[in-house]
């Protein structure tokens, strides 16, 4: 089933420093056609992550997520694809089934390094970016940008060839509480939905296995 929603068109420009991020945003509204979210899709997409949340806080319930708002990323930051970068990071990208698109969680702030005979991704600074790479157009588009305390992506998977699911944490306090969050991006209409969780839970995101950043996962 499909539904028509009135959604915000967000024009985002982000500038960051070591201590804070500054965002300038202008809003407009348009009607776009987006796909309804199957009731169990989040739970099925992130079984391991949600089990981890549940193990740390028994009150966590994936059915409490709401669909929140959606934004059409018409003015998202874009850049031509660096082919040298693509060769270096290709083993770490998350491709859709036909390899026409890839989710890039690593090239902005990680460098591959050899440790004990294994290649691992090492963070180079406090900021984080999630981006979509269009392999046909050779274009890289920013989806999410976090400063040092803005958020963390913990899991991601392609729902189908045109829709990618992302999950993580925001609003954490020290290492003992966080607010779960999820996103769904559609490469066809460039809509990004954010799924809100209604409360903080007692969990430490930093201890979750970072499988997204392992070679040949």
pLDDT for residue 41 is more than 90: no
pLDDT category of residue 25 using cuts at 50, 70 and 90: very low
Mean pLDDT of 7-32: 35
pLDDT of residue 122: 79
- Poorest-pLDDT segment among 10-14, 61-65, 104-108, 147-151: 10-14
Q: How many domains in the chain?
A: 1
pLDDT category of residue 4 using cuts at 50, 70 and 90: very low
pLDDT for residue 203 is more than 60: yes
pLDDT of residue 68: 72
Q: Pick 130 or 37 by higher pLDDT.
A: 130
- Rounded to whole angstroms, the Cα distance separating 188 from 170 reads 27
- Mean pLDDT of the residues in the chain: 78
pLDDT of residue 174: 74
* pTM (predicted TM-score): 0.78
Q: Write out the residue range of the structural domain in which residue 48 sits.
A: 2-213
pLDDT category of residue 149 using cuts at 50, 70 and 90: low
pLDDT of residue 72: 83
């Amino acid at each position: 089933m499909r539904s028509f929603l009135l959604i915000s068109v967000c024009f985002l420009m982000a500038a960051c420093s070591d201590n804070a991020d500054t965002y300038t945003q202008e809003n407009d509204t348009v009607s776009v056609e987006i796909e309804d979210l199957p009731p169990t899709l989040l739970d099925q997409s992130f079984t391991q992550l949600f089990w981890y949340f549940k193990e740390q806080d028994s009150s966590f319930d994936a059915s409490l997520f709401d669909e929140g708002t959606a934004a059409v990323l018409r003015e998202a930051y874009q850049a031509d694809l660096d082919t040298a970068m693509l060769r270096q990071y290709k083993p770490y990208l998350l491709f859709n089934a036909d390899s026409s698109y890839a989710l890039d969680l690593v090239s902005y702030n990680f460098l591959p390094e050899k440790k004990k005979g294994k290649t691992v991704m090492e963070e180079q600074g406090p900021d984080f970016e999630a981006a979509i790479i269009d392999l046909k157009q050779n274009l890289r588009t920013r989806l999410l940008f976090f400063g040092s305390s803005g958020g963390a992506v913990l899991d991601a998977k392609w729902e189908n060839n045109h829709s990618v699911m992302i999950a993580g944490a925001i609003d954490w306090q020290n290492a003992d509480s966080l607010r779960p969050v999820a996103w769904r991006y559609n490469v066809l209409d460039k809509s990004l939905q954010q799924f809100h969780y209604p409360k903080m839970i007692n969990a430490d995101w930093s201890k979750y296995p970072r499988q997204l950043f392992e070679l040949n996962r």
